[in-house]
């Protein structure tokens, strides 16, 4: 499918609400694949609408509710990234197992993988076209997918973590199929050690425990049953413990490069490590037809303002909002908002936040920045 786009047989166009594909040759269109796609929203695929544009078939996908994975990568932490990868691998593996759709027709560029930032659900673009498949088709798809993920890890230092680093290493192994990588990520749900005991070691560094992935493949039905909640709980456990007096830091090579796949039979392993990672639980939301905003708070010290260069969460539609207007701080399980000497002020439930003071916030609170209102929502 990527080759068809490169050969200009399929032309992609996009704006903030839609992405569309024009088929230069109508014989490319696969009617059965299109009909199957109409019932795949619950399985992670965005529904397509077929229209005729200047005599050519045009497929339109509504992406207004989502953000591209490429656009949110700089704001993700390792835990959120691994959750997204787990969901991505699940969708692709289930597609392979069902056999109704050709995985070669899934657009796996990070610009075209779409995320609902409210729940980190993954939504993919499937183009129903006739493509020639052979014995190498799946392998080529796997290589492209693994390469895209490896490049994203290399380019985004904000997701540096031992577990992500281990995933990166596994991506370079040619023998590791998509199914093996899916099972590797899902084995994190079986590594839920006694975190309370680990947390109680206040005066000592947290030890690293290694567990090999199961030698007998886990059945897909077993993984599917309650898998998502188990995985997310385990990920949160892995990244949650926080040794106040002696935090274990993670260091990596400065310039990580994408490796060519190599043949070897290294077993997949799961590492349970201490971490300094932050799990986002709230977002600042404005639900307005003209000025819709959804900003997940992805750091313990999160700056909000209109400056693209300086703010972690950018609000650009209102000139009354300062370049750095306020910050949201996470301390001991609670969120606080602090005004950063903004010109027009920060308010919580109609009460002004004093300059250099901080006010606690919770789900449901209304935050006013200058003259724009936002609500705190859980994610």
Could you tell me the pTM of the whole model?
A: 0.55
Is 139 a member of any domain? yes
Is 38 a member of any domain? no
Q: Each residue of 315-334: pLDDT tens digit?
A: 988 999 999 999 999 998 89
DSSP reduced 3-state for 40: coil
Full domain range(s) for residue 220: 73-96+135-272
User: What is the structure's pLDDT at 235?
Assistant: 59
239 shares its domain with 308: no
Residues of the chain with pLDDT under 50: 6, 189-225, 240-276
User: What is the structure's pLDDT at 344?
Assistant: 94
Residue where one domain finishes, among candidates 272, 300, 322: 272
Q: Each residue of 31-48: pLDDT tens digit?
A: 999 999 999 999 999 999
Angstrom distance (rounded) from CA 177 to CA 96? 12
263 shares its domain with 299: no
User: What is the structure's pLDDT at 365?
Assistant: 96
Q: How far, in Å, are 85, 123, 284, 342 from residue 271 at the CA level? A: 17, 28, 33, 44
Q: Each residue of 205-228: pLDDT tens digit?
A: 222 232 333 333 334 444 444 555
Give the tokens for residue 55: 């005599």
- Burial class of residue 259 (count of CB atoms within 10 Å of its CB; 0-12, 13-18, 19+): middle
235 shares its domain with 296: no
User: What is the structure's pLDDT at 228?
Assistant: 55
Structural element, H or E, at residue 339: strand 334-339
83 shares its domain with 180: yes
Is 211 a member of any domain? yes
| Half-sphere exposure (Cβ direction) of 306: Cα atoms closer than 13 Å | 13
140 shares its domain with 256: yes
Angstrom distance (rounded) from CA 155 to CA 64? 26
């Amino acid at each position: 499918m990527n080759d068809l786009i490169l050969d200009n047989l399929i032309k992609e166009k996009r704006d903030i609400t839609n992405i569309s594909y024009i088929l230069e040759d109508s014989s490319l269109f696969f009617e059965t694949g299109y009909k199957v796609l109409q019932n795949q929203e619950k399985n992670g695929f965005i529904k397509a609408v077929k229209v005729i544009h200047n005599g050519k078939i045009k497929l339109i996908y509504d992406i207004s509710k989502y953000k591209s994975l490429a656009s949110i990568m700089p704001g993700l932490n390792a835990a959120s990234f691994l959750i997204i990868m787990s969901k991505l691998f699940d969708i692709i593996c289930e597609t392979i197992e069902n056999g109704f759709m050709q995985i070669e027709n899934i657009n796996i560029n990070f610009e075209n993988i779409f995320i609902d930032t409210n729940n980190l659900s993954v939504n993919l673009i499937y183009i129903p076209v006739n493509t020639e498949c052979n014995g190498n088709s799946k392998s080529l798809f796997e290589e492209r997918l693994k390469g895209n993920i490896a490049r994203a890890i290399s380019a985004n230092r904000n997701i540096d973590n031992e577990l992500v680093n281990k995933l990166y290493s596994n991506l370079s192994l040619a023998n590791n199929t998509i199914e093996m990588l899916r099972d590797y990520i899902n084995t994190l749900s079986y590594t839920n050690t006694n975190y309370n005991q680990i947390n109680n070691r206040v005066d000592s560094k947290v030890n690293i425990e290694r567990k090999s992935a199961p030698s007998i493949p886990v059945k897909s039905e077993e993984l599917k049953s309650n898998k998502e909640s188990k995985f997310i709980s385990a990920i949160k456990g892995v990244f949650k413990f926080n040794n106040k007096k002696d935090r274990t830091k993670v260091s990596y090579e400065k310039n990580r490069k994408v490796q060519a796949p190599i043949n070897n039979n290294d077993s997949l392993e799961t590492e349970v490590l201490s971490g300094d990672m932050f799990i986002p639980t709230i977002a600042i939301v404005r639900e307005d037809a003209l000025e819709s905003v959804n900003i997940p708070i992805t750091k313990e010290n999160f700056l909000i303002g209109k400056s693209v260069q300086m703010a972690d969460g950018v609000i650009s539609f209102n000139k009354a909002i300062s370049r750095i207007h306020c910050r949201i701080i996470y301390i001991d399980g609670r969120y606080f908002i602090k005004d950063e000497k903004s010109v027009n002020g920060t308010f919580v439930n109609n009460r002004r936040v004093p300059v250099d003071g901080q006010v606690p916030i919770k789900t449901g609170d209304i935050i006013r920045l200058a003259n724009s209102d936002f609500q705190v929502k859980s994610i």
